[in-house]
Amino acid sequence: MRNPLKSEAEAFKLVLLAIGYFALIVIAAAINTWLGVAVFVLLSAIAVGAIVRARREPPEVRTHASRSGPGERRILVVANETVGGRTLREEVERRSEGYDVQILVVCPALNSPLRHWVSDEDAARAAAQERLDSSLARLAEEGLDARGEVGDGEPLQAIEDALRSFGADEIIISTHPEGRSQWLERGVVSGARARFDVPITHVVVDLVAEREEIRN
């Protein structure tokens, strides 16, 4: 069953639907008690039917053909704040050894539910672009030639969009550690593994620990 709270935008929509659900029942009951009961039964039946259908639907696995030739490798890196972390850079470098590699870095334009709902994404995309530019510069310092793009605010959708134009041989998803990662709480990594027929590596980057190491 697909968890409706996997993204902030979906959670916000769920709240609006719940408000509408109770509002319709209250309005109908104010007109007539039995009308309120009928509306309650009807809406509840619709909700239960949607849940049952969701449970029966298997996760859709999407296959994307790689465009790599012999000796070539295409790596899709998906990260937000952690893309410049040393752990991730070392993993990308390790997986690039011995290949004529192409690297695409995607930074989702993370946004608040309200701004997403009213389609106000300019600030989120501008902030993501700044993080992306800084990250590409850090990768270049390590001798890694990469290009990047700002992705959809929903990480899974950002991956789907990137795979349409970039036939990745593998995907590296970078997150903060457990307890500090919203992506892990929302099931982004597990959702990607269920949704995409591409090898996925999960890299945990602890930026706090890295800063402590640099200070020492």
User: What is the residue extent of each domain of the chain?
Assistant: 8-56, 72-215
Neighbours of 114 (CB within 10 A): 11
Whether domain 72-215 has CATH 3.40.50.620: yes
pLDDT for 58: 47
pLDDT for 9: 53
Angle between helix 33-56 and helix 8-31 axes, rounded to 10 deg: 150
pLDDT for 11: 56
Q: How do beta strands 146-151 and 100-108 pair?
A: parallel
pLDDT tens digits in sequence order for the chain, 216 residues long? 344 444 455 556 666 777 877 888 888 888 888 887 887 888 788 877 766 565 555 455 555 666 677 888 999 999 877 666 778 888 888 888 888 999 999 998 876 444 444 445 678 888 888 888 888 888 888 888 889 999 988 899 999 999 998 989 999 998 888 877 788 878 889 999 999 999 999 988 876 766 433 333
User: How far is residue 197's CA from residue 116's CA, in Å, rounded to a whole number?
Assistant: 29
The DSSP H or E segment spanning 44 is: helix 33-56
pLDDT for 65: 61
What are 116's two structure tokens? 């997403």
Q: How does DSSP assign 100-125, residue by residue?
A: EEEEEEEEE----HHHHHTT--HHHH
User: Using alpha carbons only, how large is the chain's radius of gyration in Å?
Assistant: 22
Beta pairing partners, 196? 62
What are 135's two structure tokens? 């990250």
What are 47's two structure tokens? 């909700």
What are 195's two structure tokens? 């949704």
Widest CA span in the chain: 74
pLDDT for 196: 92
The DSSP H or E segment spanning 28 is: helix 8-31
User: How far is residue 209's CA from residue 83's CA, in Å, rounded to a whole number?
Assistant: 15
pLDDT for 51: 63
User: 45-74 in b/e burial notation, b at 16+ Cβ within 10 A?
Assistant: eeeeeeeeeeeeeeeeeeebeeebeeeebb
Pick from 207, 198, 151: nearest CA to 172: 198
